[in-house]
Amino acid sequence: MLNNTLLINKYIESLNDGEIKRVLFKDKFNFHMAKTSLETLLNIEILIDEYLKDTKVKNNNGDKIILLFGILQGLFVGIDSIYTIGKATGLNKLMINLNQHESLREIKNIRNDVVGHPTYRYYENNSVGYCTLDLDHIEDSKITYFIHTYENNKIVIKKRQVDLINSINDYHIELDEILTRTIKFNEVLLSKEKTNLSRLISLLGEKFIRGIYDENLLEDIRVKYSKLFNLPKSANNRVIWRLNLIDYLFNFHDKNEYTRYLTYSEIHKLYLLVFNFENKVNNKLKYKFIKYKNNQEFKYLRSQLLRLKDINFKLDILHDSRHPLYNSSIKLLISRFKLDTRCSDLINWIESQVNQSNDSMLYLIGSELKKWLINYKYLVK
């Protein structure tokens, strides 16, 4: 396996190809943004190397804090740089799926606890808390800190012990995977290989509208896509993730008008992902996807949520049931619209999924409710 510095340099080298520049970047600004982010990742590798050397030395408290704050902020910057590369290249729409990288989320959580917002931070159940660092027990890369929250009229203290070597290893594993896949993406773009995957996804949608849940076709799309990008079965990839969600919906035990609409919506999202990629390879490719009637309850509820002004309601996190503010937001949504006859059936069904802690379905529901949010933000600027 190539080390990360070599992979980063290899990726920088691939971006200097004139054809890659033309098809991957919409303008020079985005090209330089991606290149700068890659150079930042090289700086983070230098920081990590220095941290690993310095933790082996007997340090005073001041040095310990500098090392701790430096490595946590450095890893945070590294993760943000990966996000930026995805946005600048458009790969976040096809390959990079950072929201599903649990270890990267955990690194960001540790950073926010210790460095980002140690004196005032939101935790589960919308509780406010703060963190205290056990400075006397920082040993090499191992740290201990305490999270203080106020819940049910009492102070709750939770102890966390973290080995930052594990965090660094997790960061490197994820970075290696992302860089390897994006380099392969560039190679596929340059090969001009015609795949016709979007045609198969369009066919999947046509069959679904006719009431056919074609598991064999779904698996055929998965196999062809994985083979194209040389993906392992465990790959954390946005297209594979969409395929898994469709498979989940195909096999959901309690199908109804809402699950059918969400299934159509996911097949359409999958089609757009792959069509946009194939259109880079073949710009003469024609868009073709079956039309489907919008669910009026979802449509109505979305329009109302954009007008819902409440300090405890966060529309942009409704797709993430693991977010500390999710419970307060979804409960407020349910209580506010439960008696609204234009969407009460939908609200009752959403409440049933919340009560079952059905994370995959809650993601699908939240994603559908917030999908117009970005367009709305542009409209009100």
Report pLDDT for 4.
86
Residue 12 falls within a domain, yes or no? yes
- Beta-bridged to residue 155, according to DSSP, are 150
| CA angle, 37 then 167 then 79, to 5° | 20
Closest CA to 239 of 220, 252, 226: 226
Residue 20 falls within a domain, yes or no? yes
Q: Are residues 269 and 329 in the same domain?
A: no
Residue 57 falls within a domain, yes or no? yes
Do 353 and 362 form a contact (C-beta atoms < 8 A)? yes
| Domain residue limits at 260 | 192-281
Summarize pLDDT for 155-181 with one digit per residue, the tens. 999 999 999 999 999 899 888 888 888
Q: DSSP letter at 137?
A: G
Residue 41 falls within a domain, yes or no? yes
Summarize pLDDT for 311-369 with one digit per residue, the tens. 778 888 899 888 878 888 999 999 999 999 999 999 999 999 999 998 999 999 999 99
How far is it, in rounded angstroms, from Cα 262 to Cα 152? Answer: 37
Residue 160 falls within a domain, yes or no? no
Do 95 and 182 form a contact (C-beta atoms < 8 A)? yes
- What's the length of the chain? 381
Summarize pLDDT for 47-93 with one digit per residue, the tens. 999 999 998 888 888 999 999 999 999 999 999 998 898 888 877 66
Which amino acid belongs to residue 312?
Answer: N
Higher pLDDT, 29 or 310: 29
Q: Report residue 64 as tokens.
A: 């310990």
| Per-residue pLDDT at 147 exceeds 70 | yes
| Per-residue pLDDT at 377 exceeds 50 | no
How far is it, in rounded angstroms, from Cα 172 to Cα 71? Answer: 13
Q: Report residue 213 as tokens.
A: 């849940």
- Beta-bridged to residue 157, according to DSSP, are 148
How far is it, in rounded angstroms, from Cα 92 to Cα 182? Answer: 10
| Per-residue pLDDT at 126 exceeds 70 | no
Residue 291 falls within a domain, yes or no? no
Closest CA to 167 of 80, 100, 107: 107
Q: Is 377 helix (H, G, I), strand (E, B) or coil?
A: helix
Instruction: Examine the fold and report which residue of 281, 309, 336 is the final residue of a domain before the chain moves on.
Output: 281
> What residues contact residue 295 under an 8 Å CB cut-off, 6+ apart?
257, 258, 261
Summarize pLDDT for 262-280 with one digit per residue, the tens. 999 999 999 998 998 888 8
Closest CA to 165 of 54, 251, 52: 52
Summarize pLDDT for 94-116 with one digit per residue, the tens. 666 665 677 888 888 899 999 99
Q: Are residues 246 and 345 in the same domain?
A: no
Report pLDDT for 248.
97
How far is it, in rounded angstroms, from Cα 132 to Cα 145? Answer: 6
Q: Report residue 44 as tokens.
A: 């983070």
Q: Report residue 340 as tokens.
A: 């609204």
Residue 101 falls within a domain, yes or no? yes
> What residues contact residue 245 under an 8 Å CB cut-off, 6+ apart?
266, 360, 363, 364
Q: Are residues 23 and 109 in the same domain?
A: yes
Give the C-alpha distances (Å, rounded to integers) separating 327 from 149, 322, 332.
17, 9, 8
| Per-residue pLDDT at 2 exceeds 60 | no
Do 242 and 269 form a contact (C-beta atoms < 8 A)? yes
What is the percent of the chain with per-residue pLDDT over 90, rounded to a whole number?
Answer: 55
Alpha helix stretches (DSSP H) within 90-196: 102-111, 164-191
Total number of domains in the chain: 3
Q: What average pLDDT does range 18-37 have in this prediction?
A: 90
Q: Are residues 254 and 306 in the same domain?
A: no
